[in-house]
Amino acid sequence: MVDINFLTYKLKNGIRIIHKNTESPVAHLGVLINTGSRDEKKGEHGLAHFIEHSVFKGTKKRRAFHILSRIEGVGGELNAYTTKEETVLYSTFLSEYYERAAELLSDILLNSVYPEKEIEREKEVIFEEINSYKDSPSELIFDEFEELAYDGHSIARNILGTRKNIRKFNRDSIHKFIENNYHTDQIVISSVGNYDFNELVNLLNIYFGETPEKLRKPSRKIFNNYIPENRSIEKNTFQAHCIIGNIAFDIQHKKRIVMVLLNNILGGAAMNSRLNLALRERRGMAYNVESNYTAYSDTGLFNVYFGTDKENLDKAVALVQKEFKLLRDKKLGAIQLSKAKKQLIGQIAISTESHEDLMLAIGKSYLLFNKVDPLRVVYNKIEAITTEDLLEVANLTLNEKQMSKLVYH
Domains located in the chain, CATH noted? 7-208 (3.30.830.10), 230-408 (3.30.830.10)
**Span 206-257, pLDDT tens digits:** 999 999 999 998 778 999 999 999 999 999 889 999 999 999 999 999 999 9
Gap between the Cα atoms of 236 and 43, Å rounded: 31
97: left (phi over 0), alpha (psi -120 to 50) or beta: alpha
Which H/E stretch holds residue 291?
strand 289-295
pLDDT of 76 > 70? The answer is yes
Calculate the average pLDDT of the chain.
Answer: 95
pLDDT of 28 > 90? The answer is yes
Q: What's the pLDDT score for residue 218?
A: 76
- pLDDT band for position 280 (50/70/90)? very high
Angle at 92 between CA 91 and CA 98, to 5 degrees: 85
Average pLDDT over residues 97-112: 98
Check: pTM over 0.85? Answer yes or no: yes
Gap between the Cα atoms of 368 and 361, Å rounded: 11
* CB neighbour class for 101 (10 Å; exposed up to 12, middle 13-18, buried from 19): buried
Q: What's the pLDDT score for residue 3?
A: 43
CA 129 to chain centre: 18
**What single DSSP character describes residue 215?**
P
Gap between the Cα atoms of 343 and 151, Å rounded: 35
77 Cβ contact list (under 8 Å, min separation 6): 71, 91, 92, 93
pLDDT of 153 > 60? The answer is yes
Residues 73 and 100: beta-carbon distance below 8 Å: no
314 Cβ contact list (under 8 Å, min separation 6): none
pLDDT of 2 > 70? The answer is no
Average pLDDT over residues 78-101: 98
**Span 54-65, pLDDT tens digits:** 999 999 999 999
